[in-house]
Structure 1
Amino acid sequence: MTDDNGVSATAHPEPSEQVRILLSVPARELAAMFPADTRSALDELGEVVVAEPGELADTTAFRATLSGVHVAVTAWGFPTLDATRLADAPELRFVMHAASSLRSVTSDDFWAAGIPISQAGAAMAPAVAELSLAFTMSLLRRTQRTDHALRSGGDWWEAREVPRAREIRGSRIGVIGASRTGRQYIDLVTALGADVTVYDPYLPAGDPLHAIQGGLHDLLRECEVLALHAPATPETRGMLGAAELSLLRDGALVVNTARAELLDADALYAEVASGRLDAALDVFEVEPLDDRWRALPNVLVTPHLGGATVESRRRAGLIVVDEIRRFLAGRPLQYALTRIDVERMG
């Protein structure tokens, strides 16, 4: 028997059992996600065992650490839960992913096992949406061009000769992907007076965003700013190649805080290097960043940190604790995901 989230009614530890919780978050993020008060709340839920995700790549270490673990808090670098790993974690009843994408953690064997899984991706949506807004306004104001001109030793007056800055009010912004982040970005730019069109073939019936929905090619032709907020799935990978990018008007601005795989990197680089398009990018086809993007005067780059704010990390820890508390109490999970959800979300 299952509840509304598909969680097995027999999945929870027996009342007499001491709940054992594995906390496997990279050391560089552990204190940010679990400051003293949040860690104390987690400790109240059971016996917490801490292990660096990378250490668990070793099968012997994985088996020893997961022995008796009922709940696994996973994050970046945690091993894929395939048949072998699941056999080494026979008591595992719930996986709480403290990051966003579940693709690296789940497998066919995991889904077949019926173990419920949730994730804290919602914690990062406001942070990524804010960076996307910051990128949008920076590109509109030509900040990347003027900053580069002055930092590279250019003449003051030449630096002032960049294309005239634009304001966000009245700007036509095309958004690909009505994800959690995409929706928050739309709220932010709409509040500042932007004219928004969204493309997402999975908008549910009755969604208020239908009022501003448009076709992909029309959106590309009409927008002044293109903001990407779609997941990387088989359907979306490479969805914007040379032909699609050529539809953008001269001087259009491209903002990508989502996934590098959405774009043909070489095609985008050619357009930006030619000066026809400007871009602001937080994600890249090669990470760490290769050198070709660094010298371009019309590109703004950040090292894939869109979701990493003080507030977002703290929110993630609180979501982790709340979801585990819900699971142990037999209450519906707020952020549970199914295999179909993950296939659509990337």
Structure 2
Amino acid sequence: MSAPRIIAVVSAELCTEFFSDADLERLHTLAAHLGGSFVRVDRLADAVLEEARIVITSWGIGPFDAATLSALPRLALVAHTGASLKAFVTEELFDRGVVVTQAGAGMARPVAEVSLTFTLALLHRVPEMHNALREGEGWYDAERAGAQHEILGAPIAVIGASRTGRAYLSLIRALGAEPLLVDPTLDPATAAGLGAELVSLDEALRRAQIVAVHAPTLPETHHLIGRRELALMRDGAGLVNTARSWLVDEQALIDELRTGRLSAAIDVFDEEPFAADSPLRSLPGVLLTPHRAAGTAEGRRRQGRIVVDEVAAFAEGRPLAHTIDRDQLSSMA
């Protein structure tokens, strides 16, 4: 076999999830175009690296530090099948002029759909009623769940006009919600173009029936929703977080949920997996999923297709659509 030009550091299971047979064939063809072969490995150390031009990454890969890069003298592109890059993209990688791209755009739709699912569940008090019926003996235990609401006409705060935030906005607008958008990078006209009213964070928290968090991970967004902010939310409101636990003070949220004043639906946590005795597991107004909002079969294949398209653009000398530079990396999780 000729020396690998494209190396996918992706488990066999994830490789099947990400790449169709047609896309795998494209990778083989593109590698041949670059004068070598395509290989899949579980660890970067399992491959012959000297002639590699492109490395496709997945979760769990180690950092591209000086030692790793010394073994990859011809590396020119790192293409990530997910969104989060901070665990392995290094200053040395950018210093070397290596192009970095990722498939986060393929994850926006499924995460937005889970955010919508969470929103509807909280509006209709599904967690409270489900938990009451599961844990109680009486049919009418669920009557204590609180007032149920429709999404039609509901004020819903969207914190951050990220890709996922915008996808979520389009879904709730289609169902007749009244979106309140919080994003300091936008002006009112741009927000209006997205079908939302641009408001301050405090105003959004006071007015919204549901608060959905979709902000970036920045120093200034750490615990963007803390004790003060949670206290501003109206009685019976709900918090949706499918973004990052960084954005919400988890302990403050647990304390507020214990009072029964708010409900929450959460896909991301400070500790993953979280402890068996975590109070989140037993609070009645809470809906939990194990950081799987982006895990649809369609989304996975979309991510794989984005990566293959980026590899093709690079191999053929065309502009890439999803590159990340040094400055952008600082605002990513």
Query: If the length of structure 2 is used for normalisation, what is the TM-score?
Result: 0.92
Could you give the per-residue CA deviations for residues 302-325 of structure 1, whole angstroms, max 9, x where no partner exists? Answer: 000000100000001111111000
Partner residue of 1:99 out of 82, 85, 99: 82
Match of 2:203 in 1: 218
Contact 1:281/1:301 (8 A) holds in 2: yes
Please give the residue correspondences for 1:255-274 in structure 2 after superposition, counting only pairs within 5 Å.
Answer: 255-274=240-259
Structure 2 CA distance for aligned equivalents of residues 77 and 65 of structure 1: 19
Q: Secondary structure at the match of 1:235?
A: helix
Structure 1 CA distance for aligned equivalents of residues 6 and 107 of structure 2: 23
Q: Secondary structure at the match of 2:112?
A: helix
Count of aligned pairs = 323
Could you give the per-residue CA deviations for residues 254-275 of structure 1, whole angstroms, max 9, x where no partner exists? Answer: 0000001101110000011111
Match of 1:333 in 2: 320
Partner residue of 1:319 out of 288, 291, 306: 306
Contact 2:241/2:266 (8 A) holds in 1: yes
Structure 1 CA distance for aligned equivalents of residues 130 and 48 of structure 2: 50
Partner residue of 1:289 out of 254, 271, 274: 274
Identity %: 42
Please give the residue correspondences for 1:163-312 in structure 2 after superposition, counting only pairs within 5 Å.
Answer: 163-203=146-186, 207=190, 208-209=193-194, 212-290=197-275, 291-312=278-299
Please give the residue correspondences for 1:4-153 in structure 2 after superposition, counting only pairs within 5 Å.
Answer: 20-46=5-31, 47-52=37-42, 55-56=43-44, 61=45, 65-153=48-136
Structure 2 CA distance for aligned equivalents of residues 306 and 231 of structure 1: 17
Q: 5+ residue gaps in structure 1?
A: 1-16
* Matched letter for residue 321 of structure 1: V
Structure 2 CA distance for aligned equivalents of residues 313 and 237 of structure 1: 29
1:149 Cα deviation (Å)? 0.9
Runs of 4+ in 1 over 6 A off after TM superposition: none
* Matched letter for residue 335 of structure 1: H
Q: 1:204 to 1:163 in 2, by over 3 A?
A: closer
Contact 1:217/1:244 (8 A) holds in 2: yes
Structure 2 CA distance for aligned equivalents of residues 259 and 126 of structure 1: 16
Contact 1:20/1:70 (8 A) holds in 2: yes
Give the root-mean-square deviation of aligned CA atoms.
1.8
Q: 1:205 to 1:325 in 2, by over 3 A?
A: farther
Could you give the per-residue CA deviations for residues 123-181 of structure 1, whole angstroms, max 9, x where no partner exists? Answer: 11000000000000011111111111111133101223321211001111001111000
Contact 2:86/2:332 (8 A) holds in 1: no
- Structure 1 window deviating more from structure 2 (300-309 vs 42-51): it is 42-51
Structure 2 CA distance for aligned equivalents of residues 210 and 137 of structure 1: 19
Q: Secondary structure at the match of 1:73?
A: strand
Could you give the per-residue CA deviations for residues 50-86 of structure 1, whole angstroms, max 9, x where no partner exists? Answer: 111xx34xxxx26x54222100001111111122211
Structure 2 CA distance for aligned equivalents of residues 292 and 113 of structure 1: 46
Query: If the length of structure 1 is used for normalisation, what is the TM-score?
Result: 0.89
